[in-house]
Chain A
Amino acid sequence: MRFDYLQPATLDECVAMLAKWGPSAKIIAGGTDLILNARARVVDPEYVIDITGIPSMSGIEEEGGGVRIGAAVTVRDVSESAIIKERFPLLATAASLIGSVGIRNVATIGGNVCRASPSSECSPPLLCLDASAKVVGPGGSRTIRLDECFLGPGCTTLETDEVLTEIHIPPNKPGTRGVYLKHSQRGSIDLAIVGVAVVGTFAASDGTCQEAKIALGGVAPTPMRARDAERVLQGKVVDDALIALAAQTAADESRPISDVRGSADYRKEMVRVFTQRALRAILPS
């Protein structure tokens, strides 16, 4: 691999670099994916633009009941943030399950999203939380919903001259609980065979499920919402039988391939098992 390494001090500098070199440049945050991919010649940029020196890309702030997370915030900081652990614990869990602590100290939430791995840990929780991202380029800034931003493995709707600067998560409705489960053989240090995030909003009166969101990682070209499974639960009182049905539905709508980490059949079965476990975990007791 060979590239020039640029370290803009402001967002404007970064955008100017992207305007000049966009198609032959890559954004680097922690680098835990980019360096591997460059070495393996999966990508071959001439310029690498490091965004971690840009102050506006850092920080986790409360925002109207929700939260704003700078793209360059490390997943370690996401996993340990008091506000995220309190309001969106499934995201904190997911971030804590990314690789080893040495990776988490350096990898960023922006990188985890933009890498667009089908098994990205942060993406299923962000999909369930209706997260959106701010994206900036020479033409200005725009907001994209995360459930519309993944196009395929390693591919997002970002243009080559755009950079993701922050992630916004809207406030939870009352009565909302969420959980993220990762299935892998060696815990956090392995890539997920299957990841399942569920968020459910339950009525205080009778425990009816007002809204259910289920997102899956590792079982489709992109992280995906299991919308058929969500519809099984919507508006119902959730019992074991319904959970089993929702879990099976999620498995049926998943589209895994067989690869070195697992066969398609095994992944589908794991979707069923972990969706079931996750739903049981968020049921009001």
Chain B
Amino acid sequence: MRRPIELRVNGVIEEAYVEPWWTLARVLRDELGLTGTKISCETGDCGACTVNIDGRAVRSCIYPVMKAQGKEIVTIEGLAGSDGSLHPLQQAFLDNFAVQCGYCTPGMVMGAHALLGENPHPSEEEIKEGLRGNLCRCTGYNNIVKAVASVAGAAEEVE
């Protein structure tokens, strides 16, 4: 039996009617139209579904939506400015050609966003270890590491 819940997503209070066993990823995609978050393994192994909850990276494909109530959720759709300006991470991914098929990109960017929020100046090793759980099949990771490292220097502006 579906029940109404409220979720705070990208600064907006969203209402959704959900089954209690649904995951956050499913609700974001199927109920709230926020399809930037991707589902790829449903076992928490690939990171494509990564969102930020209270500033931390979370695998939304195995995160119960009921648990997400009362928390601050940020998805890829919440990074760019309301005027359309790109978040520095998004710009860095473009500038460094870190996007190929793009399916890992939202999760990768959100993982990096959480990483930089907690550790504004990570070393390359810390970037690689911090994003190790985000799998990419296309890029070989090199340009992704470059993109995140390029923002790491100027991370004071990162929220």
Contact = CB atoms under 8 A, between A and B. Distances in A.
Interface in A1-53: 1-5, 7, 28, 31-32, 35-36, 38-39, 48, 50, 52
A189 B115 CA distance: 17
Interface stretch (B27-35, B42-50, B91-99, B144-152): B42-50
Contact of A102 (B20, B21, B133): B133
B59 interface: yes
Interface of A: 1-5, 7, 28, 31-32, 35-36, 38-39, 48, 50, 52, 76, 99-103, 105-106, 186-189
Nearest to A107: B44
B63 A31 contact: yes
A187 B125 CA distance: 13
19 contacts: A5-B64, A5-B66, A31-B64, A31-B67, A32-B62, A36-B43, A38-B21, A39-B42, A50-B64, A76-B56, A100-B47, A101-B111, A101-B130, A102-B47, A105-B56, A106-B58, A106-B59, A188-B132, A189-B45
B57 A101 contact: yes
Given A5-B20, A102-B57, 9 more contacts: A31-B62, A35-B23, A35-B64, A76-B56, A100-B132, A102-B44, A102-B58, A106-B59, A189-B132
Per DSSP, chain B at the interface is mixed
Interface in B116-152: 129-130, 132-134
B21 to A, nearest CB: 5
Given A36-B43, A100-B133, A188-B132, A106 B20 contact: no
Nearest to B46: A100
Contact of A103 (B23, B53, B59, B67): B59
B14 interface: no
Contacts of B6: none
A5 B130 CA distance: 31
A50 B111 contact: no
Contacts, number: 76
Contacts of A32: 44, 59, 62
Interface residues of B, number: 28
B101 to A, nearest CB: 21
Contacts of B77: none
B156 interface: no
Contacts of A186: 132
A32 B132 CA distance: 17
Contact of A99 (B21, B42, B44, B64): B44
Nearest to B67: A50
B16 to A, nearest CB: 14
Interface in B80-100: none
Given A31-B62, A31-B63, A106-B63, A5 B21 contact: yes
A89 to B, nearest CB: 18
A99 B56 contact: no
Contacts of B19: 2
B43 A102 contact: no
Contacts of B57: 101-102, 105
A102 B111 contact: yes
B76 to A, nearest CB: 15
A36 B20 contact: no
- Interface-central residue, B58, B63, B133, by most chain A CB under 10 Å: B133
B133 A3 contact: no
Contacts of B129: 187
A40 B43 CA distance: 10
Nearest to B19: A2
Nearest to B110: A102
B133 A189 contact: yes
A100 B134 contact: yes
Contacts of A105: 53, 56-58
Nearest to A80: B118
Contacts of B64: 5, 28, 31, 35, 48, 50
Nearest to A76: B56
Nearest to A100: B133
